[in-house]
């Protein structure tokens, strides 16, 4: 494109809600308050949330990200557990090593942990719908002794489950799944095990549900979609899939540098959204990059409003 050529028009439909959820805001606030109160370094086990921009900004403020507790020394500097939650063994190990810990697990993940424990106490066989290896799934399965939770990621997995063995059976879910896929998996579970116990509205969290609804509505009006989020962010990946299913050429980008411009050739309208761990600053950078190449008109499509706030742990409620 020459410097004087007029920019092609582009209609941008900006999804609302998008971006940070209450669990992510709380987790990031916990780390920042801990830095103020206890001073650097503060240790965080695994990425506090799945976003490199957030992780790098916290690193610059004195946070040390660790993989295992053995990398943190005992003493006054806390070790924070990420929003995804941890297995029961992690706080136990921390206690044994005399570490000072703060739990930033999202309360909606903790709710699923409690459901798992209740089903276990009642002698139920437990099926977890979720993605193998995701930290939240590892943490939820790790609330109970090994082998007590069976993971099912698809309808084929449901078909392969052991037949009814006379024990009552229950299901729980990862919080960041595709609403539509999960509904189908739950239906398959109910067909195989009609008396199965489950949560009233699955365990998919409000933020995942709302972001998927918004991108679905936007995707019906546009030709392409850009989801701002990390490749390892489950809820961001699901947003991309939802948009794709509505017939959009959808791309997941960490920031504006990841935009596949070739995929936008001859595209006149694009939806823009962001996963629950992607900061608004990155959405603004993406909009800036679109504006540099196109004559952009932005309209916001709001499918619902959110007012969820999760309180900080008591010790961190007042700034130091």
**Of 243 and 276, which CB lies nearer to ligand SF4 in the complex structure?**
276
Question: Could you count the other beta carbons within 10 Å of the beta carbon of residue 74?
Answer: 11
Mutual orientation of helices 179-192 and 206-219 as an angle, nearest 10°? 120
**136 is a catalytic site residue:** yes
Nearest approach, Cβ of 82 to ligand SF4 (angstroms)?
A: 10
Bridge partners of 226? 251, 272
82, 293 Cβ separation under 8 angstroms: no
The residue of the chain with the least Cβ separation from ligand SF4 equals: 23
Nearest approach, Cβ of 168 to ligand SF4 (angstroms)?
A: 27
**Of 205 and 286, which CB lies nearer to ligand SF4 in the complex structure?**
205
Nearest approach, Cβ of 147 to ligand SF4 (angstroms)?
A: 25
Task: State how far the Cα of 229 lies from the Cα of 112, in Å rounded to an integer.
Answer: 24
CA distances from 292 to 9, 27, 45, 202, 287 (A): 11, 34, 39, 42, 9
**Of 23 and 279, which CB lies nearer to ligand SF4 in the complex structure?**
23
User: Tokens 């109970």 map to which residue?
Assistant: 144
Exposure of 3 by Cβ count < 10 A (0-12 exposed, 13-18 middle, 19+ buried)? Answer: exposed
**Residue in 115, 136, 241, 246 annotated catalytic:** 136
Nearest approach, Cβ of 176 to ligand SF4 (angstroms)?
A: 5
H-helix or E-strand spanning residue 238: helix 234-245
Provide the H-helix boundaries in 69-175.
Answer: 89-96, 107-121, 135-141, 155-160
Q: Which residues bind ligand SF4 (CB under 6 A)?
A: 21-24, 83, 106, 108-109, 175-176, 205, 207-208, 235, 276
**Of 153 and 212, which CB lies nearer to ligand SF4 in the complex structure?**
212
Nearest approach, Cβ of 110 to ligand SF4 (angstroms)?
A: 9
CA distances from 51 to 20, 85, 224, 244, 301 (A): 11, 16, 23, 22, 25
Nearest approach, Cβ of 275 to ligand SF4 (angstroms)?
A: 8
**Of 21 and 278, which CB lies nearer to ligand SF4 in the complex structure?**
21
Task: State how far the Cα of 267 lies from the Cα of 249, in Å rounded to an integer.
Answer: 10
Beta-carbon contacts of residue 252 (< 8 Å; ≥ 6 apart): 227, 229, 231, 236, 237, 239, 240
**Of 27 and 169, which CB lies nearer to ligand SF4 in the complex structure?**
27
Taking Cα atoms as reference points, which of 76, 45, 12 lies closest to residue 273?
Answer: 12
**DSSP labels for 82-100?**
-TT---THHHHHHHHTT--
Nearest approach, Cβ of 203 to ligand SF4 (angstroms)?
A: 9
**Of 235 and 251, which CB lies nearer to ligand SF4 in the complex structure?**
235
Task: State how far the Cα of 218 lies from the Cα of 214, in Å rounded to an integer.
Answer: 6
- Catalytic residue numbers read 136
């Amino acid at each position: 494109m020459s410097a004087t050529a007029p920019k092609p028009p582009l209609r941008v439909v900006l999804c609302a809600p998008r971006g940070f959820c209450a669990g992510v805001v709380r987790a990031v606030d916990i780390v920042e308050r801990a830095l103020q109160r206890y001073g650097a370094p503060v240790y965080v086990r695994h990425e506090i949330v799945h976003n490199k921009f957030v992780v790098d900004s916290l690193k610059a403020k004195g946070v040390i990200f660790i993989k295992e507790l053995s990398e943190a020394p005992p003493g006054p500097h806390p070790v924070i557990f990420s929003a995804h939650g941890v297995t029961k063994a992690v706080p136990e190990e921390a206690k044994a090593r005399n570490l000072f810990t703060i739990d930033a697990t999202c309360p909606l993940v903790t709710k699923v942990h409690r459901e798992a424990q209740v089903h276990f106490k009642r002698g139920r066989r437990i099926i977890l719908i979720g993605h193998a290896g995701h930290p939240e799934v590892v943490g939820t399965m790790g609330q109970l002794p090994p082998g007590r939770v069976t993971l099912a990621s698809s309808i084929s997995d449901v078909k392969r489950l052991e037949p009814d063995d006379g024990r009552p059976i229950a299901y729980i879910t990862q919080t960041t799944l595709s609403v539509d896929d999960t509904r189908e998996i739950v239906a398959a579970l109910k067909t195989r095990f009609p008396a199965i116990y489950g949560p009233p509205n699955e365990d998919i969290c409000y933020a995942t549900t709302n972001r998927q609804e918004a991108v679905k509505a936007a995707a019906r009006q546009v030709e392409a979609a850009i989801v701002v989020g990390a490749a390892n962010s489950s809820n961001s990946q699901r947003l991309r899939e939802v948009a794709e299913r509505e017939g959009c050429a959808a791309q997941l980008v960490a920031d504006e540098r990841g935009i596949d411009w070739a995929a936008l050739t001859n595209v006149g309208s694009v939806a823009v959204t962001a996963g629950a761990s992607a900061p608004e600053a990155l959405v603004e950078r993406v909009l800036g990059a679109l504006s540099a190449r196109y004559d952009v008109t932005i309209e916001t499509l709001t499918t619902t409003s959110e007012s969820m706030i999760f309180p900080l742990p008591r010790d961190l409620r007042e700034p130091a």
